[in-house]
Amino acid sequence: METRRFSFLTETLMSHPNPMVHVIDHPLVQHKLTLMRNKEASTTSFRRLLNELSSLMVYEVTRDMAMQEVQIETPLETMTAKMIDGKKLVFVSILRAGNGILDGMLNVIPGARVGHIGLYRDPATLQAVEYYFKMPQEMTERDVVVVDPMLATGNSAIAAVQRLKVLKPKSIKFVCLLTCPEGIATFTAAHPDVPVFTAAIDRQLNDHGYILPGLGDAGDRMFGTK
Ligand code: URA
């Protein structure tokens, strides 16, 4: 394997010209992403790495969560300490590949609520077609994190966020593993108010809607369906 040395900045989030786009540049995230990209990675490794990587990414995604102060008793005395405020967060998985990210995030925030959106890409038009939509109650009081490993054409992500906005949640964030300039441009044009968190922005989208160099079909690699 060819190696090059990088000196990492102390910042965790690499800056992007669009302040709504956050590239999570942590060495652990980048290392695991590289292992996942390798075509030799087995289904087991791919799934495990996606799970680990998502657990790491959720720290950055939830960095600005509202906190409240509560009084508690330690074994020695009373103290005022911080806890997360408000109703439980909702992770919304875009089926089916979103479930890989979902599992990793739930490892860190097991009490989060979960919504699912079933969307498939029409192979001819590459447009998103909805076949399933199920959300928790009281969405107006919740912060939402939408997850899908690949922000490629942007069509599924745009459709999912459009559908969620109807429910008027407190906030919406979008998390993916990989995206490309085309995906970012289309998504941020449709939803300029929704921050995007990603581990990398790759070179380009190909004519079949795949990200290059990418990691192939995330769903197939995660579930071993090809
Ligand atoms: N979906 C994938 O799984 N991979 C891509 O490269 C693009 C969309």
Is the CB of residue 120 below 6 angstroms from any atom belonging to ligand 1? no
Is the CB of residue 152 below 6 angstroms from any atom belonging to ligand 1? yes
Q: Compute the distance from residue 217 Cα to the ligand 1 centre, in Å.
A: 5
CATH number at residue 112: 3.40.50.2020
Among 94, 150, 156, 176, residue to substitute to test ligand 1 (most atoms within 8 Å of Cβ): 150
Which residue owns the Cα nearest ligand 1 atom 2? 217
Is the CB of residue 150 below 6 angstroms from any atom belonging to ligand 1? yes
Q: Compute the distance from residue 226 Cα to the ligand 1 centre, in Å.
A: 14
C-alpha atoms less than 13 angstroms from C-alpha of 18 in its C-beta half-sphere: 19
Q: Compute the distance from residue 79 Cα to the ligand 1 centre, in Å.
A: 49
> What Cα–Cα distance (Å) separates residue 63 from each residue in 13, 54, 104, 226?
11, 14, 17, 37
- Tens digit of each residue's pLDDT (9 = 90 or more) over 145-203: 999 999 999 999 999 999 999 999 999 999 999 999 999 999 999 999 999 999 999 99
pTM for the structure as a whole = 0.91
The 3-state secondary structure of the chain, one letter per residue: CCCCCCCCCCCCEECCCCCCEEEECCHHHHHHHHHHHCCCCCHHHHHHHHHHHHHHHHHHHCCCCCEEEEEEECCCCEEEEEEECCCCCEEEEEECCHHHHHHHHHHHCCCCEEEEEEEEECCCCCCEEEEEEECCCCHHHCEEEEECCEECCCHHHHHHHHHHHCCCCCEEEEECCEECHHHHHHHHHHCCCCCEEECEECCEECCCCCEECCCCCHHHHHHCCC
Q: Compute the distance from residue 218 Cα to the ligand 1 centre, in Å.
A: 6
Domain of residue 88, residue span:
2-223
Among 39, 215, 217, 226, residue to substitute to test ligand 1 (most atoms within 8 Å of Cβ): 217
Number of domains in the chain: 1
Whether the CA torsion 98, 99, 101, 105 is positive or negative: it is: positive
Distance, CA of 70 to CA of 90 (rounded, Å)? 23
Is the CB of residue 211 below 6 angstroms from any atom belonging to ligand 1? yes
Atom of ligand 1 nearest to the CA of 210: 6
- pLDDT value for 14: 75
Q: What tens-digit pLDDT sequence spans the chain (226 residues)?
A: 555 554 444 344 777 888 899 999 999 999 999 999 999 999 999 999 999 999 999 999 999 999 999 999 999 999 999 999 988 899 999 998 999 999 999 999 999 999 999 988 777 887 778 999 999 999 999 999 999 999 999 999 999 999 999 999 999 999 999 999 999 999 999 999 999 999 999 999 999 999 999 999 999 999 999 8
Amino acid, res. 42: S
Among 215, 223, 225, residue to substitute to test ligand 1 (most atoms within 8 Å of Cβ): 215
